[in-house]
């Protein structure tokens, strides 16, 4: 078995599409796609789990704006994860190897797109359903100054609907793919 060597240099960003629900039992599954087009599937549950270790690392939420800033949207925050924790999640996933060697390329994502995604507001449609879970598409981008990955929300649907207003959001999701709803 070949062990993957993940670094912030060969993983400047990582795309993630996932489903998460705690209604009627925990369901958490999805996939990552790295800049080289490799896909990593994961499924975490009480009964079944792709795993090398027993640890799955979650993001931490950090306010993007000062609490005293009354002009900021309530949801203007971002989540972060350390490189070590994100790379451990990749190692706890299973690399998908299609029959014909096809890989979805993420080289469509440029620095200009990432800058636009980071500054674009997120439209909050509020609560949409109950016990539907959340289908989420995100882009983790490495911040060299902070030494962490920032999670940029592209879209969320299910119990809550939120959509990044970047002009690039839909094209990225369409090009790379998402968990089926």
pLDDT tens digits along 100-159: 554 555 557 889 999 999 999 988 876 666 666 888 999 999 999 999 999 899 998 888
> Tens of pLDDT along 68-93?
444 333 334 568 888 988 988 888 88
The tokens describing 104, both together, are: 């979805």
Greatest pairwise CA separation for the chain in angstroms: 54
Q: What are φ and ψ of residue 173, in 5° steps?
A: -65, -45
Mean pLDDT confidence for 18-35: 83
State the DSSP string of 137-178.
EEEEEEETTTTEEEEEEEEEEESEEEEE--TTHHHHHHHH--
What is the 3-state composition of the chain as percent helix, strand, coil, each rounded to the nearest 5? Answer: 15, 35, 50
Mean pLDDT confidence for 153-168: 89
> Tens of pLDDT along 30-62?
999 988 888 888 887 544 333 334 455 566 655
pLDDT of residue 139: 93
Model confidence at 175, pLDDT cuts 50, 70, 90, reads: confident
Q: What is the pTM of this model?
A: 0.78
pLDDT of residue 169: 92
The tokens describing 170, both together, are: 């839909």
């Amino acid at each position: 078995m070949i062990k993957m060597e993940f670094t912030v240099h060969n993983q400047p960003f990582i795309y993630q599409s996932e489903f998460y629900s705690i209604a009627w039992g925990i369901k958490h599954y999805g996939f990552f796609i790295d800049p080289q087009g490799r896909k990593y599937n994961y499924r975490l549950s009480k009964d079944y789990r792709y795993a090398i270790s027993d640890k799955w690392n979650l993001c931490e939420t950090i306010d993007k704006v000062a609490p005293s800033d009354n002009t900021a949207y309530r949801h203007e925050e971002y989540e972060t994860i350390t490189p070590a924790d994100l790379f451990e999640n990749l190692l706890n996933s299973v690399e998908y190897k299609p029959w014909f060697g096809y890989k979805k390329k993420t080289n469509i994502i440029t620095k200009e797109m990432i800058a636009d995604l980071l500054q674009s507001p997120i439209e909050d449609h509020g609560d949409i359903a109950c016990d539907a879970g959340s289908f989420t598409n995100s882009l983790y981008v490495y911040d060299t100054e902070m030494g962490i990955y920032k999670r940029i929300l592209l879209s969320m649907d299910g119990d809550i609907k939120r959509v990044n207003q970047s002009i690039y959001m839909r094209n990225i999701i369409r090009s790379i793919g998402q968990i089926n709803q």
